[in-house]
Structure 1
Amino acid sequence: MLLSVIVPLLGSPGYARAALDSVLADPATELEALAVVTPEQGSAALAAEYARRDPRVRTVAVPETAGPETAAPETAAPDAPGALGPHPGPALNAGADAARGGHLLFLDTDDVLLPGAVPAVLRALRALRADGPGPDVLHLGHERVDWWGAAVATPEPAAGDQVVRRAFWTAHGLRFADGPYGEVAPVHRAALLAADAGASAALERVCVRHRVRRTGTFASTPGRGHFAVIEAYARLLAETGDDPRVHPPRTAHLLAVLEDPGRIRPADRADFFRAAALEGTYAAHRARRTRDAVAARVRQAAGRGRRVVRRQVMRAAYRTDLHRGLDPRLAVYGAYWNRGVACNPAAIHAKARELLPHIEGVWAVSSRHRDRVPPGVPYVIEGSRAYWRAMATAGYLVNNSSFPGGFTKRPGQRYLQTHHGTPLKTMGLDQRAYPALTNGVSFEKILAHADQWDFSLSANPHSTEIWDRVYPAGYTHLELGYPRNDVYFTATADQVAKIRADLGIAEGQTALLYAPTHRDYRKGFAPDLDAERLARELGPGHVLLVRAHYFYGRSTGGAGGSGRVLDVTAHPRVEELCLAADALITDYSSLMFDYACLDRPILVHAPDWAAYRAARGTYFDLLSGRPGETPGAVATTQEELTELLRTGRWRSPETAALRTAFRERFCPYDDGHAAERVVRRFFGDAG
């Protein structure tokens, strides 16, 4: 047994259940999950339920002599301890005593392991154990988020920050204290001892997420019971012989507790400061904090003032420019909310330069994405004087989303809305049926934006029907195909070979492009597919190209390791990735509709289809198996997907027939000449 994961069943059963689910989500057999039964009501039943369900779960009971802390620290006020509830120290110790794995991972009840964390930890331990017993401490990436999902910065040590070798833990007599802040001493001591022995390592990925609860926990209950953190560090200093390495994290942690209104009440802060023996006096500390806060507010106000004045000046200049004549030789392009040169607008821009070279094309981009503009392509930064001048005077506007800043479309300007995909999920006014995902969305603004369009581009009749209903306005539909898809019909074999070579795909390897879409109900890139595991199971003949949705930035934050998983999120052209791939693996991304132009296999990996449909709504059942709805092979688990790829059923005659029907429905206009048709239709007699 390589790893024992210890989960105390304390507090909310919902949180404890989520913690156990996250540990068991991966089918790895080299771990055990120790569900520690505590005096909490219902914990025994919850542990028994999981033990029946999964043989990797073992139930461990906290010894009766080591129950939850009920006595108050000497410095605590009488009102504090009874309300603070049990602490996890005894449960974590009981789990460590019963563990059989070579390494220990201690989770808080409010922790969850992120997707892919279990195999990543196991791979790291196997690799590090190759020449010995492995590291005494493997440090893990750890994050804290609040109940909204926002990141919470804290210097507080957490047991889940590290995987500890069990023999090392036992040899040094490391134990969690029974009361509040019981993790301080063992977590710091383990890190220091391992560092001294040169036996520590780090896994450079976030593996553990701690969910800060809003109420009902010790950390959210103000009181003098939090003075226990001072005693915790006193014990640590005593156990380490006043190791100087302890002092910086001690000071940072104590100041964080002091300033946290959920822990120390204002009336108790001076006493806490004195008890902690922090440098200076509390009055001086508070004066410094006040000065720093005032200075920060002044800087923020000054910055806001400058930005407000600048916006006012820009808008005044723009209103003046609206009286200038329109320039019939100027076109402004934009894509993906000013993220750079991409998609249908990029293909239209390139073709317009070829067919109508006298028309100058200028791109609107944000300052943080200016590096995505290829050399030689003119651009203006959103909000700048040049941007507003261009928006006021350009004869042509082309975008796949919207232009920033609330511009006023003038009579005579021609605006082409290209969109950026075929709609599977609900769009526009249809989203009103899903209010949980449209908080803050103004449907009035959506309609006002659609009122500015002169033309709406369609890739297929399905899109035309949807756009017409969800964006009701007076524009003209252009059923001409997607210009961004032209390259799928014009790229040569030599060009494709060069793209594959530049990406690092070896000759003869099967390249699988994994491109999941974003989830409105999730924070950050959290794929349901473990790419490293899939690549390992398929063997060296396969390579996975992993591309996160553009909402998540330019990196997946996790691909790599084996060399057969390539993070291609930052690649500037998704069309090149499609050309390089022998097959597409996706969930609900609109990329599948474009990829169908290539007539190559499409595999749908849909582990949360029911949740996705319920949360966002879809226009047809992607998993139905009906021609014209399902593009190819379907898997709802990673195991099913692996089996499809291993057996070859992903490219069977049945899946080929589904792909043909899908392509006929959604790619009827794509033939390699869409950009030319759009340029000639939109720019009209500009040539």
Structure 2
Amino acid sequence: MPRFSVIVTAYNVQAYLTDCLRSVLTQTYDDLELIVVDDCSPDGCGAVADEFAAHEQRVTAVHLRENSGLGPARNAGLARATGDYVVFLDGDGTFVPGALQSLADRLKETGGPDVLVYDFDRTYWSGETVRNTFAAPLAEDGPASFQLSDRPNLLTYLITASNKAYRREFVERQGLTFPSGHHTDTAWTYPVLMTAESITTLDRVCTHHQQRRPGLSPTDRGHMDLFDQYDRVFAFVDERPALDRWRPVLHRRMLDHLAALVATDGPVSRGSRAEFFRRARAHHRRYRAPGAAGRSRSRRGHRLLRLGAHRTHHVLRTSRLLRERSGRVAATLLRAVRSGVLRLHYAVQRRLPVRADHAVFAAFGHRGYTSDPAAIERKVRELAPRLRTAWISHAAHQHSVPIGTRRLRPGTFAYWTAIARAKYLVSNADFDRRLVKRRRQILLQTHYGTPLRSPDIELPDRPEAAGDTDAGRLLADADRWDYSLSANRHSTLVQEKAYPSAGTTLEYGHPRNDIFQRATAGDVARLRRSLGIPEGFTAVLYAPANRDYRHSPHQPLDLERVVQSLGPRFVLLSRARHAYGTQVPYPPHPRVLDVSGHPSTETLCLASDALITDFSSLMFDYANLDRPIVVHCDDQEAAEAAQGTYFDLRSCPPGPVTHTQEELIDTFALGHWRGSRSARLRTAFRARFCPYDDGRAAERVVRHVFLGEQGGVPLPLPQEERSPAPPAP
């Protein structure tokens, strides 16, 4: 008897079915049977199911003689299930790596409940993946298992059958089956939750739900079936008097459900709304119960449904759309007027004298006080206190700007005044394209990091990664640079070729890395405590690079499996790149800490004991700490072909190189990640790419650019005389 029976129904999903079945069969937890139900699909779904069944004994292919719909197809799978727990998966959905292992662990922790509810995300045809936004009922605090009466807000969660694991004995004992029709999940989920004696939750994304393109979804007539499904739900309650207390809740949820459908444009067309409202009114009158009043935010929608007032609904909806359209027009006009006034203001400010004692700083995306510009700004306040500094950032990040530094928001009058009149402008990204550089202004470009992959300006012949890159604009920006900061000879050669300009290259090192030479053991311990790293644990920072040629996040590792394989005294710090946002798609193991939103990369480096990365320039910074680095590239050829690299990382790596998850785990298990060969590779890498990162890079920049002391710039310390911050004991 397997632990899980995974039932996949397939109808007109031949393009997705192979990926769906592979996502099941490649799970690290393999105590399962896979039942594929071909609902007499007219495409190749049946052939795909047979092919998998022929090569994998865990797969059973079931072919229905006629198309019967989702509900009966699932019932056909249930009739053949032998597992302890049953899990449903749509033929165009997929399991997240490690999903079944997470389900098995949670079921074991909670004593084998009747139902386990977990989370999902939506995957769109464009490749974008968005996690469900209504996951609050899945919080794992409180009792490990409970009944619906202990957490009735589960009924507000999405009514779907494919985000739950069901104990098969419970399903059979209650005689639960799927009805026919379009909204079969409604008549299945409510009875399941109401009759389950024990329920538990898992606050983790376990499945991807495929979202079809607009126009490919079922027609509005399919939503009329919703009334029949609620008839079945209330009939189920009629047969079980003990469930009668749920009538008010079900009535309210029914009205919520119906109101949500008519509130959007697609599901119920204008031609069928009159019928929809008539049926909604009849259902309200038939099933209303004391205590079923709607919440304040939905009360008007409930009232319209109860009255069957489709014309009033249409008038109110039209009025709302007109107000929104008028608001958008007014906002557009206001933006145009404000833009014109700002342009005039900037033109006036450019005719006023340049302020020799003002300096303006910014970092990539105006996200906050960070990177090389921040390190230079700190050193300016120390060595040149006569200068008045300002930092440009969005409002959400202005709290990161230190006291004593003026805060500027991009696009404001103060912003345009500052960049029009400040003598010094410093950034690690493109300057505002509307900036008109004045003769006495000095622009310092610090760049983002040591280049391993081709910079944006060299991507026009690589359309997969180029996106909307404007090479002409990048060159025009480079023409305004007075100084270009470089960390090493490699960076100098790449930058001068990629961005030919009349500016002076300052090969001084990365100021942001000064902290690696200045931090103490006490600083490291404090930073580790702030991140929640337990004392005595080995912290490994996992920081992969963006995959610019992909629309969705690249997930090469099952972080839960990796951290379990490394051992009980390891912690993984997972840092997702900014291009995909700060939200981690799958909140994993308790020893996997999501640090994607942490504002300081330097803090994460200091707090960790080792780094796992791929094509990220972070490896060049991390090498200054002289701590182990493992390069994990599972798609090296694809990444190199899409964006290109300046040298073969395999010829000069900072540590061991792995290509599969198993190789990575073995590298740690066998100790190669911190062995003698790893140390030799790291030493050679540091000598090549970190010659100036001695803790005084910011001082060199400030003395040259801001103080004009070219002759007083300190020489870099030899590698053997440097003392990087010690790792945690």
Normalising TM by the smaller chain, what interval? 0.7 to 0.9
The amino acid that maps onto 2:200 is A
Q: Which residue of 1 aligns with 2:224?
A: 227
Q: 1:107 to 1:573 in 2, by over 3 A?
A: same
The Cα of 1:576 is off from its aligned counterpart by 2.3
The amino acid that maps onto 1:246 is L
How far apart are the structure 1 equivalents of 2:570 and 2:214? 48
Q: Which residue of 1 aligns with 2:70?
A: 88
Is the counterpart of residue 272 in structure 1 residue 273 in structure 2? Answer: no
Is the counterpart of residue 47 in structure 1 residue 44 in structure 2? Answer: no
How far apart are the structure 2 equivalents of 1:231 and 1:616? 54
Which stretches in structure 1 are left out of the alignment for 5+ residues? 70-86
Q: Which moved more, 1:574-583 or 1:21-30?
A: 21-30
The Cα of 1:225 is off from its aligned counterpart by 4.4
Structure 1 segment 99-248 matched on structure 2, within 5 A: 99-129=81-111, 133-134=112-113, 136-148=114-126, 149=128, 157-194=159-196, 197=197, 199-214=198-213, 217=216, 219-220=217-218, 222=219, 224-241=221-238, 243-248=247-252
The Cα of 1:404 is off from its aligned counterpart by 4.8
Candidates 457, 466, 476, aligned match of 1:438 = 466
The Cα of 1:422 is off from its aligned counterpart by 1.8
Candidates 585, 588, 593, aligned match of 2:615 = 588
How far apart are the structure 2 equivalents of 1:520 and 1:248? 46
Query: Do 2:429 and 2:448's aligned partners in 1 also have CA atoms closer than 8 Å?
Result: yes
Q: Residues 295-341 of structure 1: CA distance to partner in whole angstroms, max 9, x if unpaired?
A: 22233333343333333333322221111111111111111211111
The Cα of 1:262 is off from its aligned counterpart by 5.4
Q: Residues 321-365 of structure 1: CA distance to partner in whole angstroms, max 9, x if unpaired?
A: 111111111111111211111111111111111211111221000
SS in 2 for 1:511: strand
Q: Which residue of 2 aligns with 1:616?
A: 643
Structure 1 segment 435-584 matched on structure 2, within 5 A: 435-522=463-550, 527-554=555-582, 556=584, 558-559=586-587, 561-562=589-590, 564-584=591-611
The amino acid that maps onto 1:639 is E
Query: Do 2:513 and 2:693's aligned partners in 1 also have CA atoms closer than 8 Å?
Result: yes
Query: Do 1:546 and 1:569's aligned partners in 2 also have CA atoms closer than 8 Å?
Result: yes
Q: 1:260 to 1:571 in 2, by over 3 A?
A: closer
The Cα of 1:259 is off from its aligned counterpart by 6.2
How far apart are the structure 1 equivalents of 2:641 and 2:52? 27
Query: Do 1:460 and 1:481's aligned partners in 2 also have CA atoms closer than 8 Å?
Result: yes
The Cα of 1:370 is off from its aligned counterpart by 1.7
Q: Which residue of 1 aligns with 2:670?
A: 647
Q: Which moved more, 1:255-264 or 1:428-437?
A: 255-264
The amino acid that maps onto 1:172 is Q
The amino acid that maps onto 2:656 is A
How far apart are the structure 1 equivalents of 2:677 and 2:331? 62
Query: Do 2:224 and 2:276's aligned partners in 1 also have CA atoms closer than 8 Å?
Result: yes
Q: 1:349 to 1:145 in 2, by over 3 A?
A: same
SS in 1 for 2:411: coil
How many pairs were matched up? 653
Candidates 385, 389, 395, aligned match of 1:361 = 389
Which stretches in structure 2 are left out of the alignment for 5+ residues? 135-156, 239-243, 282-304, 711-729
Q: Which residue of 2 aligns with 1:636?
A: 659
The amino acid that maps onto 1:239 is F
The Cα of 1:171 is off from its aligned counterpart by 1.9
Structure 1 segment 648-663 matched on structure 2, within 5 A: 648-663=671-686
How far apart are the structure 2 equivalents of 1:227 and 1:521? 42
Q: Which residue of 1 aligns with 2:7?
A: 6
Query: Do 1:223 and 1:265's aligned partners in 2 also have CA atoms closer than 8 Å?
Result: yes
SS in 2 for 1:119: helix
Q: Residues 561-598 of structure 1: CA distance to partner in whole angstroms, max 9, x if unpaired?
A: 53x33223333322122122221011221111111122
Q: Which moved more, 1:237-246 or 1:594-603?
A: 237-246
Q: Which residue of 2 aligns with 1:290?
A: 318
The Cα of 1:108 is off from its aligned counterpart by 1.4
Q: Which moved more, 1:385-394 or 1:540-549?
A: 540-549
SS in 2 for 1:486: helix
Candidates 251, 254, 260, aligned match of 1:250 = 254
SS in 1 for 2:120: strand
* TM-score (normalised: structure 2): 0.83
SS in 1 for 2:208: strand
SS in 2 for 1:390: helix
Q: Which residue of 2 aligns with 1:418?
A: 446
Q: 1:115 to 1:393 in 2, by over 3 A?
A: farther
Query: Do 1:632 and 1:655's aligned partners in 2 also have CA atoms closer than 8 Å?
Result: yes
Query: Do 1:516 and 1:527's aligned partners in 2 also have CA atoms closer than 8 Å?
Result: no
How far apart are the structure 1 equivalents of 2:587 and 2:227? 41
The Cα of 1:384 is off from its aligned counterpart by 1.9
SS in 1 for 2:28: coil
Q: 1:378 to 1:542 in 2, by over 3 A?
A: same
Query: Do 2:40 and 2:64's aligned partners in 1 also have CA atoms closer than 8 Å?
Result: no
How far apart are the structure 1 equivalents of 2:506 and 2:22? 49
Q: 1:555 to 1:439 in 2, by over 3 A?
A: closer
Q: Which residue of 2 aligns with 1:18?
A: 19
* Percent of paired sites with the same residue: 41
SS in 2 for 1:28: coil
SS in 1 for 2:48: helix
Q: Which residue of 2 aligns with 1:598?
A: 625
Moved >6 Å (runs of 4+): 152-156
The Cα of 1:411 is off from its aligned counterpart by 1.8
How far apart are the structure 2 equivalents of 1:161 and 1:240? 23
How far apart are the structure 2 equivalents of 1:3 and 1:377? 59
Structure 1 segment 37-76 matched on structure 2, within 5 A: 37-40=38-41, 41-51=43-53, 57-64=58-65, 67-69=66-68
Q: Which residue of 2 aligns with 1:679?
A: 702
The amino acid that maps onto 1:139 is V
The Cα of 1:403 is off from its aligned counterpart by 4.2
Is the counterpart of residue 383 in structure 1 residue 385 in structure 2? Answer: no
Q: Which moved more, 1:91-100 or 1:338-347?
A: 91-100
Q: 1:656 to 1:650 in 2, by over 3 A?
A: same
The Cα of 1:686 is off from its aligned counterpart by 8.3
SS in 2 for 1:183: helix
The Cα of 1:53 is off from its aligned counterpart by 5.5
Q: 1:284 to 1:674 in 2, by over 3 A?
A: same
The amino acid that maps onto 2:335 is R
SS in 1 for 2:474: helix
SS in 2 for 1:107: strand
How far apart are the structure 2 equivalents of 1:373 and 1:118? 44
How far apart are the structure 2 equivalents of 1:595 and 1:416? 24
Q: Residues 5-41 of structure 1: CA distance to partner in whole angstroms, max 9, x if unpaired?
A: 2222332322112222333443223444333334224
Query: Do 2:456 and 2:469's aligned partners in 1 also have CA atoms closer than 8 Å?
Result: no
* TM-score (normalised: structure 1): 0.87
The Cα of 1:52 is off from its aligned counterpart by 5.6
SS in 1 for 2:365: coil
